[in-house]
Chains A and B, each alone.
Chain A
Amino acid sequence: MTDPARSIPAPTLAERTSVIEAKDLRMAYPPARRGDPVRPAVDGVSFQVRAGEIFGFLGPNGAGKTTTVSLLTTLLSPSPGSAFIEGVDVTSDPSEIRRRIGLVFQISTADGELTGRENLVFEAGLYGRSPATVRPYIDSLLARMELTHVADRLVKTYSGGMRRRLELAAGMVHEPKILFLDEPTLGLDPQGRAGFWKYIRYLRDTQGVTIFLTTHYLDEADQLCDRIAIIDHGKIIASGTPNELKDRMGGDTVEVVVAAGASDVTSVLAGLPGVLELHRSGDQYRFKCVRGESLVPKVVLACERVGVEIAGVATRKPSLDEVFLNLTGHSYREEGEVRSESNGSDSAPAELPAMGGA
């Protein structure tokens, strides 16, 4: 603390103001059949997203992710006092909230009969911006999303990746500081998904946009998000940074393979500090420890000392798959399938109230 300039440090992530906040957020849809119990889609969800964060909402299909986004973005009405954008209750002035946030839907919402550029100009018009003033910004947005070469082609001719990028651009057309992305990479192949993360990171890193995204891809949450909340059956079951969540799984797994025919090093490895749950199968040893990478040099030295040659060492962080399995007691994939089925049957009568309103 000798340098006075350092006495006012930049706010850490934890100190930044929360720009998205949910306080005991709840939502229940009408039951599929009269007499069926009301099944809450979102069941008392609370969290805060801080400025400049990429916050991930991870859960299987039907867990309540989209409903949460709908409640936070005024598409559904939450009860007053349960959802806030920049400290403003979303129920107090929905149209002001809509001005402050951008929204990227999980489905494609662009008009296929219009060009990409026309779609963006149309979208900007809905925010009260005239085509003439918004054109330069739209040009730069198209360039950043690498859509300039297809900007004047009809959207119906776009590839899946181009459509997703156009959706992202549409969400940014009024330059919001908060962006909601609902399953932004749904339907893209793994390569396309990894490519799309680049654009999301760009918005956060250079525009300072706070990003709330939902996903059911574990790797997406792991690699893209600063913090994650895991949602299942409408409730948050865990939250934290991806590493924090993984640390709860009892740390890393280290695998040591010794040269074929080398002598048993079980006692050598077991003697190292922090080694847990050591297993041997042939030339292969596997154990758990808190931080695998710091133990690897010690493993190598210890084996060298007893004259055993090491063929390979690998450390493995626990995956979010394991986190999910551990927290819910069921595997991720299996749950997603079961829930998406029940979601489908519940949605069938949704048409009736709307028709009845005619």
Chain B
Amino acid sequence: MYRETVSLLRREYLRWIRAPFWLISGLLTPILYLVLFGQAFDLSKLIPPGFGGAFLTNALAGAPNYFSYFAIGMVAFAAVTASLFSGTGVIFDKQLGIQQRIVSTPSPRLAIFLAALLFRGVLTLIPAFLVVGLALLLTHIPGVAGLTIPAGVTALGVGEVIAAILILSITFTALFLAFGFAAQRVENYFAIVTLLQLPVLLTSNALYPVGTMPPWLQSVVAVNPISLAVNVMRADLFGAGGYPYSPAVYLGGLVVWGVVIGALAMVIASRSFRGTGSIDREGWSPTT
């Protein structure tokens, strides 16, 4: 199990390291988010002077400034966007016969799935953590808004923030990996992904406060895994006062999403391993 997984990971790594454009785009995207998106978007500037204070603090869930509020949303945003491509490698592997080669070996099926999830998961995590690091760094550059974390953040809180980023990234990686295992063609995959991407991101509180939304949308936003992760992070970093539940509860909700989507992805992957069972290029699905 261990050797098979390592061998599969090694192959993914060799492929990835030889595609420099992915590398550059993966590293630049988080920077662009913060420098362009993050610096441009400051809702607090729309509020006339004198109306700030408690009102603003409340709207921004206790964040010291709009960028700090927004930066947390962008962490989730970066993770989800990076995960969108998680399933493409699997489709190419199917089309190039590589998956057939892999499933013809005695390698445990779980190793094949885990290697894909692990590698793609790490590729999703990197930009998410880069956004955190960069946002913290920007605070120290004069004239530029940065992520300011008020004093009083506990070690448990930091742990919960890291766990939220990890689980969110892995959950979305598993989701799009599942679509990759299900689709036979990249066109079909991207049709699904582009259809899903927008509603999933927009029904969350990543970019703007929930208070502005109609009630029906608010209830959707409340269970969105992105919102759950964002709630954990904002509550732990800016204070849990404004939230009806503790960060641990939101983290628990996120774990439920992760387990459900992970299990679903595993089922779809194992079907794919059997479905491409035929070594015919057409990829028959067996009747038995």
Task: Specify which chain A residues have a CB less than 8 angstroms from the CB of B45 in the assembled complex.
Answer: none
Q: A105-B101, A111-B11, A354-B275 are in contact. Are A126 and B280 (CB under 8 A)?
A: no
Task: Specify which chain B residues have a CB less than 8 angstroms from the CB of A107 in the assembled complex.
Answer: 97, 100, 279, 281
Bound CA–CA A271/B216 (angstroms): 104
Bound CA–CA A330/B97 (angstroms): 34
The interface centre, meaning the residue of A113, A126, A130 with most chain B CB atoms within 10 A of its CB, is: A126
The interface centre, meaning the residue of A111, A125, A130, A343 with most chain B CB atoms within 10 A of its CB, is: A125
Whether A182 and B279, one on each chain, are in contact in the complex, defined by CB atoms closer than 8 angstroms, is yes
Q: A105-B97, A347-B284, A355-B188 are in contact. Are A75 and B104 (CB under 8 A)?
A: yes
Q: Which residues of chain B in 251-288 are interfacial with respect to chain A, using CB atoms and an 8 Å cutoff?
A: 268, 271-272, 275, 277-288
A112 contacts B by Cβ under 8 Å? yes
Bound CA–CA A78/B282 (angstroms): 19
A319 contacts B by Cβ under 8 Å? no
B211 contacts A by Cβ under 8 Å? no
Bound CA–CA A354/B98 (angstroms): 18
Q: Which residues of chain A in 163-202 are interfacial with respect to chain B, using CB atoms and an 8 Å cutoff?
A: 170, 182
Whether A125 and B8, one on each chain, are in contact in the complex, defined by CB atoms closer than 8 angstroms, is yes
A320 contacts B by Cβ under 8 Å? no
B6 contacts A by Cβ under 8 Å? yes
**Residue on A nearest B14 in the bound complex, by CB:** A114
A109 contacts B by Cβ under 8 Å? yes
Task: Specify which chain B residues have a CB less than 8 angstroms from the CB of A344 in the assembled complex.
Answer: 282
Q: A125-B10, A350-B284, A353-B285 are in contact. Are A99 and B106 (CB under 8 A)?
A: yes
Q: A76-B277, A125-B8 are in contact. Are A113 and B18 (CB under 8 A)?
A: yes
Q: Which residues of chain B in 74-105 are interfacial with respect to chain A, using CB atoms and an 8 Å cutoff?
A: 96-98, 100-105
Bound CA–CA A114/B101 (angstroms): 15
**Residue on B nearest A98 in the bound complex, by CB:** B106
- Interface size range on A against B: 35 or more
Map CB proximity to B onto A65-97 as digits: 1 under 8 Å, 0 otherwise.
Answer: 011011001111111000000000000000110
* A181 CB, nearest partner CB in chain B, Å: 11
Task: Specify which chain B residues have a CB less than 8 angstroms from the CB of A28 in the assembled complex.
Answer: 287
Task: Specify which chain A residues have a CB less than 8 angstroms from the CB of B283 in the assembled complex.
Answer: 347, 350-351, 354
Q: Which residues of chain A in 324-357 are interfacial with respect to chain B, using CB atoms and an 8 Å cutoff?
A: 343-344, 347, 350-351, 353-355, 357
Whether B277 and A75, one on each chain, are in contact in the complex, defined by CB atoms closer than 8 angstroms, is yes
B107 contacts A by Cβ under 8 Å? yes
Whether B277 and A109, one on each chain, are in contact in the complex, defined by CB atoms closer than 8 angstroms, is no
Task: Specify which chain B residues have a CB less than 8 angstroms from the CB of A129 in the assembled complex.
Answer: 3
Bound CA–CA A275/B7 (angstroms): 66
Number of A-B residue pairs with CB-CB distance less than 8 Å in the complex they form: 147
A239 contacts B by Cβ under 8 Å? no
* B260 CB, nearest partner CB in chain A, Å: 15
Task: Specify which chain A residues have a CB less than 8 angstroms from the CB of B281 in the assembled complex.
Answer: 106-107
* A18 CB, nearest partner CB in chain B, Å: 22
Task: Specify which chain B residues have a CB less than 8 angstroms from the CB of A75 in the assembled complex.
Answer: 100, 103-104, 277-279
B42 contacts A by Cβ under 8 Å? no
Q: Which residues of chain A in 24-79 are interfacial with respect to chain B, using CB atoms and an 8 Å cutoff?
A: 27-30, 66-67, 69-70, 73-79
Whether B178 and A358, one on each chain, are in contact in the complex, defined by CB atoms closer than 8 angstroms, is yes
A122 contacts B by Cβ under 8 Å? yes
Whether A350 and B179, one on each chain, are in contact in the complex, defined by CB atoms closer than 8 angstroms, is no
Q: A96-B106, A99-B106 are in contact. Are A125 and B6 (CB under 8 A)?
A: yes
Whether A70 and B277, one on each chain, are in contact in the complex, defined by CB atoms closer than 8 angstroms, is yes
Q: Which residues of chain B in 1-28 are interfacial with respect to chain A, using CB atoms and an 8 Å cutoff?
A: 3-4, 6-8, 10-11, 14-15, 18-19
Whether A70 and B278, one on each chain, are in contact in the complex, defined by CB atoms closer than 8 angstroms, is yes
Whether A109 and B97, one on each chain, are in contact in the complex, defined by CB atoms closer than 8 angstroms, is yes
* B58 CB, nearest partner CB in chain A, Å: 42
A151 contacts B by Cβ under 8 Å? no
A123 contacts B by Cβ under 8 Å? yes
A108 contacts B by Cβ under 8 Å? yes
B29 contacts A by Cβ under 8 Å? no
A231 contacts B by Cβ under 8 Å? no
Task: Specify which chain B residues have a CB less than 8 angstroms from the CB of A353 in the assembled complex.
Answer: 275, 285
B139 contacts A by Cβ under 8 Å? no
Residues of A whose CB lies within 8 Å of any CB of B are 27-30, 66-67, 69-70, 73-79, 95-96, 98-99, 103, 105-114, 118, 121-130, 170, 182, 343-344, 347, 350-351, 353-355, 357-358
Q: Kindly list 10 other residue pairs between chains A and B, CB separation below 8 angstroms, not including A75-B277, A127-B106, A350-B284.
A: A66-B279, A66-B280, A69-B279, A70-B279, A75-B104, A103-B104, A113-B18, A123-B105, A350-B283, A357-B268
Pull 26 A–B residue pairs with CB atoms less than 8 Å apart, ordered by A.
Answer: A29-B286, A70-B277, A73-B104, A76-B286, A77-B286, A95-B106, A103-B279, A107-B279, A109-B97, A109-B101, A111-B15, A113-B14, A113-B18, A114-B11, A114-B14, A122-B8, A124-B7, A127-B105, A127-B106, A347-B280, A347-B282, A347-B284, A353-B275, A354-B275, A358-B179, A358-B183
Sorted from nearest, which 8 A-B pairs have the closest CB atoms? A125-B7, A358-B182, A347-B282, A109-B101, A126-B105, A109-B97, A98-B106, A126-B107
